[in-house]
Amino acid sequence: MSETRKIAAILVSDVVGYSRLAGADEDRILARLRALRSDLIDPTIAVHHGRVVKRTGDGALVEFRSVVDAVRCAIEVQNGMVERNAGLPPDRRIDFRIGIHLGDVVEERDGDLMGDGVNIAARLEGICEPGSICLSEQAYWQVKARLDLAINDRGAVQLKNIADPVRVYSLQVGVPAQAKPAAAAEAAVPERPSPQLALPDKPSIAVLAFQNMSGDPDQEYFADGITEDVITDLSKVSGLLVIARNSSFAYKGKAVDVRQVARELGVRSVLEGSIRRAGNRVRITAQLIDAETGGHLWADRFDRELSDVFAVQDEVTRRIVDALMIELSPSEAAMLGAVKTTSKAHDFFLLGREALWGTIRNRGVFERSTDLFAQAIAQDSNYGEPYAGLAMAEVLNWQFHWTDGWSESLEKAERHVDLALQKSPQVAFVHYVASVFYLWNKDLDRSAAEADAALNLNPNYAQAHNSRGIVNIYGGQPLAAIPHIEQAIRLDPALRQLYIHFLGSAYLVAGKFEAASALFRERIRLAPNTDLSRAFLAVALGHLGEAEEAGRVWRELMEINPKYSFAEHVGRLPFRDQADVDHLSEGLSKVGLPS
């Protein structure tokens, strides 16, 4: 059979006044729609078990297994848009109309849907008020007893090209039903869900921080380090999407529902486990969980000598790959089997990495981490990763001036980078650090090459994607940076507040000022004390001629950092073309701000 008839809950959405918005600035509206789909719409559809049948440029046709799911999805999207539109002038708001109907549809062989069920939903969307949801009578009766909603009965409406009148109910999003008691009215406003991401079209996994079962808090670094090594090994597999450490470790120490974690991170499976270290023995337990069913795909326990810990990591990785039915390429298999170093050298490296990548960064952390990296090298002088750790520490010292000799830090970093690349050319972390070093050394071509090398070894390396994007921004190809930075956000959503600054920078350098300003506003919302994003927001507003708003943003910036200097800030950035720097300064000059 080429088609199937069925009853389905159909949701149709559309942007109000899309032609007007696109006519004013098509690049901006497309950038905002792309961000909304990635951060709000697609994740919300996924968590409510919807299927996007097709998109229509500014709208979508979505099938749900129940009307309750469809309405809950619509409410969350519309409430999310209320928050995102807050503070924006009317000509920059994006408002959706949503129509929902339960009816008979025809499913084509390719999955497309047709018939009255689709047509009625589309016509309901067309008569909606901006930001509203319209339900047919059939849909309304499915949800009236299940959801506490404020409903306006609009009576029977003759819809275009629909033979019989349809009784229409309009849902006032976020407004409690008047007939309900106060307690129920409070429950009527849906709690904003945690950020959720759409599932990729390939196997995907998040590795939660392994629990330290050693009874010694000082062994926490070891459990975290082994977890990160497992993440790194899995990340080498091109057929697997792996969430970065920053994002999976955000759940550390919390009582979590694995299925909720998977929904928030947009993965199909989750690995959790524990580590017990006692003397020269280590016990690792791990279990791979199917996020949809909550069932175990694989579980095992490993009791080994500490010297065999690398073999255990490799075995865990291979067992996960087998459980997910992923076929490794010969080069991927070889990388997973590579022997790294001695257990003592690795131990010192883990301690140094834990210190340098912690939330506190100062001179004390710099001195502690470099001492630990040096001890790792003393244990194994052919171990490249601690040399890369030293290089990164020196780059950070050059940026933050922790020591009196900070001006010599890039020279020291270069020596460490060279040694790291000589000793561990097969390690993505080494190439990532090299990319960062060459970026600040203003060798953009070499920085790009090193970022590419890191991604060839580890296609899931979020920070390397971001680094590659940054090189494109400063190298004069800002639009080419966007896919890389968006992929960094997908792989590492916990660092979205950082990556979104660079995404805004890409649009800013490209001259897409509306899109840039929207992204910088979002960064300020996520990181309220940022001075850099405020400076660049003022630049974008200056180019848009919004002098009053640019001045307000600049005053906020100076309250946060009274010593801020735009010339000093931009002067440190490794732009290849002075014209790009001049164009940024021009945005401030246009509205009388110091450039």
% of the chain at pLDDT higher than 90: 47
Mean pLDDT, rounded, of the chain = 86
pLDDT, tens digit (0-9, with 9 covering 90-100), for 525-548? 888 889 999 999 999 999 999 999
Strand-pair category, 60-64 with 51-55: antiparallel
Judge whether 476 and 445 are in contact, CB under 8 Å.
Answer: no
Give the least confident one: 129-133, 357-361, 427-431, 557-561: 357-361
CA 585 to chain centre: 30
Give the pLDDT mean for 482-501: 92
Could you tell me which residues come within 8 angstroms of residue 79 by beta carbon, excluding any fewer than 6 positions away?
173, 174, 189, 190, 192
Position 502 scores a pLDDT of: 96
pLDDT, tens digit (0-9, with 9 covering 90-100), for 548-566? 999 999 999 999 999 999 9
Distance, in Å, from the CA atom of 34 to the CA atom of 13, rounded to the nearest integer, reads: 15
Could you tell me which residues come within 8 angstroms of residue 300 by beta carbon, excluding any fewer than 6 positions away?
285, 286, 316, 319
Confidence class for position 196, pLDDT limits 50, 70, 90: low
Give buried/exposed letters for 330-339 (b at 16+ CB in 10 A, else e): eebeebbeee
Give the pLDDT mean for 233-246: 90
In three-state secondary structure terms, 285 is strand
- The angle at the Cα of 556, spanning 552 to 557, to the nearest 5 degrees, equals 115
Judge whether 454 and 431 are in contact, CB under 8 Å.
Answer: yes
Report pTM. 0.66
What are phi and psi for residue 591, nearest 5 degrees? -115, 20
Which fold does the domain 204-339 belong to in CATH? Answer: Rossmann fold (3.40.50)
Structure tokens at 593: 């701000």
Position 146 scores a pLDDT of: 64
The neighbour count for residue 296, using CB atoms within 10 Å, is: 11
Distance, in Å, from the CA atom of 243 to the CA atom of 170, rounded to the nearest integer, reads: 40
Q: For residue 397, with 0-12 CB atoms within 10 Å meaning exposed, 13-18 middle and 19 or more buried, which class applies?
A: buried
Q: What is the CATH number of domain 3-188?
A: 3.30.70.1230
Could you tell me which residues come within 8 angstroms of residue 438 by beta carbon, excluding any fewer than 6 positions away?
444, 446, 447, 450
pLDDT, tens digit (0-9, with 9 covering 90-100), for 325-346? 888 788 777 777 655 788 789 8
- By residue count, the chain amounts to 595
pLDDT, tens digit (0-9, with 9 covering 90-100), for 115-147? 889 999 999 998 888 889 999 998 988 887 666
Q: Which residue has the tokens 């990388």?
A: 335
Position 182 scores a pLDDT of: 31
| Domain boundaries along the sequence of the chain | 3-188, 204-339
Query: Nearest Cα to 512, choosing from 589, 587, 448?
Result: 587
Could you tell me which residues come within 8 angstroms of residue 215 by beta carbon, excluding any fewer than 6 positions away?
none
Q: How many helices and strands (H and E) does the chain possess? A: 25, 14
Q: Fill in the amino acid letter for 585.
A: S
Distance, in Å, from the CA atom of 252 to the CA atom of 122, rounded to the nearest integer, reads: 44
Structure tokens at 221: 């670094």
